[in-house]
Amino acid sequence: KKGSAFGSTRRGIAYAYSDKYRKKTLRLGDLLHLDEERTQNRLHMILDSKNMELAGCYHQEKMSYDALFHWCEAQAAKFAPYICDVGAFLQQAHDSGKRIVLEAQLGAMRDIDYGIFPFTSSSNTLAAYAPLGAGIPNCKLDHVVGVLKAYSTCVGEGPFTAEWFGEEAEQLRVAGVEYGAATGRPRRVGPFDCVASRYGLTCQGADKIALTKLDVLSSMKEIPVITGYTLDGVQVPSFDPLSDLDRVKPVVTMLPGWNKDISGCKSWDELPKEAKAYVEFLEKQLGHEIQFVST
C-alpha cells in the first residue's frame, strides 16, 4: 500500500473482512469443531488460497497445514470457554424485558456503504446494522443517540471540509487530546460541521443528540460553525458523499465564545449564556434535540 494507503491502522482489519466475504475463513464457533472433517477440509481450502497469496503476491514462505492447525488449537484453548450463541443469549434477555444498549465505535462517514468511500472502515458503522452484528436481527431499535463532539475531528485520509491547519488546529487538538486511539496519530480537527452532521444523523436515524467535549472550546473568543458548503461559488444544498468533496468550501458562521472554563459544570443552568446559545444554535441547524451535553 506504500504511497496509497487510506489511513489504515495496519492491523489487518480490511483483510479479515475481505476473507469473510470471499468465504475464505473460519467463524469463531468453528474453533469448537476442529476435530470434525468438515472444519479440517475448510482449513485445507483456506490454506491453499492463502499460500498462493503469500508466495505469489508477497514472496513469503508458505505456511504448513500442521502449523495452521496447531495455531487454531491454541486459539480454541483460549476462547472456547467464552464462545456461545450470542444471538440466543441476547434474544432471551430481550424477551424477558431487559434493556440492551449497543455502542458504536465509528461514525457515519466511515461506513463502508454510506461513508466517504474509499476512506472508510471495512464494516457498517450505522445504528441500523447494530442488531444484525449483535445477532438479534429481528429486534428493532427504539432509541438512537447520535454522539457528536462540539467540534469536528477526522481520523485517516480523505476529504475533510472542516479541516484547520497550523497553530489554530494544534491548539484545538491539544485542548481536546485528539490523538488516534489505535495508532496515536494526531487527529485532523476543525469547527463543527452542520452539513456533514445532518447527513450523519439522517443515516443513523438518531432521535436525540449527545454533544460531547463542549469545554474544549472554552478558550476561544469566537467560535466558527460550518453552516453550508459552496462548490465553484454555488451553494451546495446538502452533503453528498459522491460529490467532489475535495473542492467544496465551507460557509462559516461566527458565534461568541464564553472565554471561561466550564469543565466543572454539572448542569445546564451552570453554563454561561454563550455556551447555551452555542448548543441551541446547533439544535436549530441540525433539527434535533440535544439531550445530553458533556464536559
Q: Is 165 helix (H, G, I), strand (E, B) or coil?
A: coil
Model confidence band, residue 89 (pLDDT cutoffs 50, 70, 90): very high
Helix orientation angle between 37-56 and 65-79, rounded to the nearest 10 degrees: 120
Q: Please name which of 69, 67, 140 lies closest in space to residue 100, comparing C-alpha atoms.
A: 140
Distance between CA atoms of residues 19 and 25, nearest Å: 6
Given a cut of 70, is residue 18 above it in pLDDT?
yes
Distance between CA atoms of residues 295 and 290, nearest Å: 14
Given a cut of 90, is residue 66 above it in pLDDT?
yes
Q: What is the residue whose three cell numbers read 488449537?
A: 73
- pLDDT at residue 9, as a whole number: 73
Element of type H or E holding 153: strand 152-154
- DSSP 8-state symbol, 179: B
Q: Please name which of 236, 258, 260 lies closest in space to residue 247, comparing C-alpha atoms.
A: 236
Residue type for 84, please?
Answer: C
- DSSP 8-state symbol, 46: H
Model confidence band, residue 104 (pLDDT cutoffs 50, 70, 90): confident
Model confidence band, residue 105 (pLDDT cutoffs 50, 70, 90): confident
Residue type for 270, please?
Answer: E
- pLDDT at residue 270, as a whole number: 97
Q: Give the CA count within 13 Å in the CB-facing half-sphere of 206.
A: 26
- pLDDT at residue 109, as a whole number: 93
Distant-in-sequence, close-in-space partners of 228: CB < 8 Å, separation ≥ 6: 194, 195, 235, 236, 250, 251
Higher pLDDT, 3 or 185: 185
Distance between CA atoms of residues 112 and 126, nearest Å: 10
Given a cut of 80, is residue 4 above it in pLDDT?
no
The three cell numbers of residue 59 are 514472496
Centre a 10 Å sphere on the Cβ of residue 54 and count the other Cβ atoms it contains: 15
Write 67-71 long-range contacts (CB < 8 A, 24+): 68/43, 69/34, 69/40, 69/43
Given a cut of 60, is residue 147 above it in pLDDT?
yes
Cα angle 249, 255, 256; round to 5: 145
The three cell numbers of residue 245 are 468533496
* pLDDT tens digits along 240-263: 999 999 999 999 999 999 999 999
Range from 6-10, 58-62, 120-124, 250-254 carrying the lowest mean pLDDT: 6-10
Q: What is the residue whose three cell numbers read 469547527?
A: 191
Q: Helix, strand, coil proportions of the chain in percent (round to 5)?
A: 40, 15, 45
Model confidence band, residue 6 (pLDDT cutoffs 50, 70, 90): low
Given a cut of 70, is residue 144 above it in pLDDT?
yes
Distance between CA atoms of residues 276 and 270, nearest Å: 10
What average pLDDT does range 80-87 have in this prediction?
93
What average pLDDT does range 92-111 have in this prediction?
93
- pLDDT at residue 58, as a whole number: 85
- pLDDT at residue 3, as a whole number: 57
- pLDDT at residue 7, as a whole number: 61
Task: Tell me what the pLDDT averaged over the chain comes to.
Answer: 93
- pLDDT at residue 2, as a whole number: 57
